[in-house]
Amino acid sequence: MTAQEIFRRVDLTMLRRDATETDIRHTVREGLRLSAASVCVPPCFVQTAAAYSEGMLPVCTVIGFPNGYSTDAVKCFEAEDAVRNGASEIDMVITTGLLREGRDEALLRQINAVREACGEAILKVIVETCLLHADEKTRVLSIVDRSSAEYIKTSTGFGSAGAQIEDVRLWKSLIQNGTKIKAAGGIRTLAQAQAFLEAGADRIGASHLDE
């Protein structure tokens, strides 16, 4: 797999808490140079990224980030606002407590509500695997796979651990309805990105990838 083939499947990310408009513009330029799948930026910079990219690069943003604490209504509002501002991809953090309590149908309703709020934008569902037990990783894949979301995503990148190859392999083996996988968190080299893609990931989230 060439570097170019890998970068075409990378959401080039700038989610630092101290990110500035200068950082966002730099990320967009890099995304264009590398022919990335998208640039992923904070909601407050979606308009900046969308205007600067001039429609030549999809803009992704994060919702309920990074803890997933927001109510369903707030997550839906955030998604609608992001789409109005120019986002074409939405990465939303689930309310992990719903999964922990076995409230699978409530979590499914949350995901579907946000998906409806996204309109034509792609929805990726972040589940923060470092917080989940083995059975919860299986259950959450089933929930997302039953939902109308397009992707399940491993991590926010702000947790205690990031993407794990074994989680991607597990999810890939369980998918029945075409859900795609985004691996994110701690992926810093082209070799790591390739390994996740070969394990079954369809997208990679990374702020950079070294040789």
Residues carrying an active site annotation: 91, 153, 182
Strands 89-93 and 10-13: unpaired
Count CA within 13 A, CB hemisphere, residue 58.
16
What is the rounded distance in angstroms from the CA atom of residue 26 to the CA atom of residue 110? 34
Calculate the alpha carbon distances from 131 to 33, 95, 160 in Å: 35, 12, 8
**Contact in structure between 20 and 40 (CB atoms under 8 Å):** no
User: What phi, psi does 92 have (nearest 5°)?
Assistant: -110, 135
Q: Which residues contact 81 (CB under 8 A, 6 or more apart)?
A: 43
